[in-house]
Amino acid sequence: MKMLKLKVLGTALLIQMILLGACFGQEHKGEKHGEEDGTQFTQQQTYNVIKKGVRLILKYNKSQETFIGIMENVSKKKVKRARVEVHLSNGVELGPSKPKDLKVGEKIKVTLKAKGQVFKTWSTHAEVGSNEHGHGEGGEKGEHKNREGRGEHR
């Protein structure tokens, strides 16, 4: 009788862990405060996070070889110089996208091309205001440019 209870309890815990993993495996949600948290996503997963008053929802479209999504100001004040970067597992950085000031509630479409890039996982983040890496639209002080003409961290 004791063994049966342990098997049932073990099975119940296993099912809960599987369900919990399925819930978190497809979409990364929440409020984050640092820009880069290092979470890696598969090509099928969707990023959906609020950081510094900006919600970024981003997904890879394999047939278009492009990351497509939206950036939305969910804060109560204007967000200055909002932009997006994507870091591929092959070491290439896409972006940042063109900086844009977002009014309260404003949404804009985000696209970053990954044409010809071979990668398994990716990470992303929205940046706001001045960037601690010291790069703007053209990349990190104009250095380390990839094929898309944008910066690549080293």
For the stretch 31-65, pLDDT in tens is 444 445 679 999 999 999 999 999 999 999 999 99
Q: Confirm if 82 and 144 have CB atoms less than 8 A apart.
A: no
Q: Which CATH number does 28-140 carry? A: 2.60.40
Mean pLDDT of the chain: 75
* Torsion on CA atoms 124, 139, 152, 69, rounded to nearest 10: 20
Weakest-pLDDT range from 34-38, 97-101, 144-148: 144-148
> Distance between CA 126 and CA 57 in Å, rounded?
10
User: Which amino acid is located at 145 in the chain?
Assistant: K
Weakest-pLDDT range from 90-99, 109-118, 133-142: 133-142
pLDDT at position 4, please? Answer: 57
Pull the structure tokens for residue 51: 């950081």
Weakest-pLDDT range from 18-22, 50-54, 83-87: 18-22
More confident: 100 or 150? 100
Domain boundaries, the chain: 28-140
Query: Among all chains, which residue has been given the structure tokens 């296993």?
Result: 14
pLDDT at position 14, please? Answer: 44
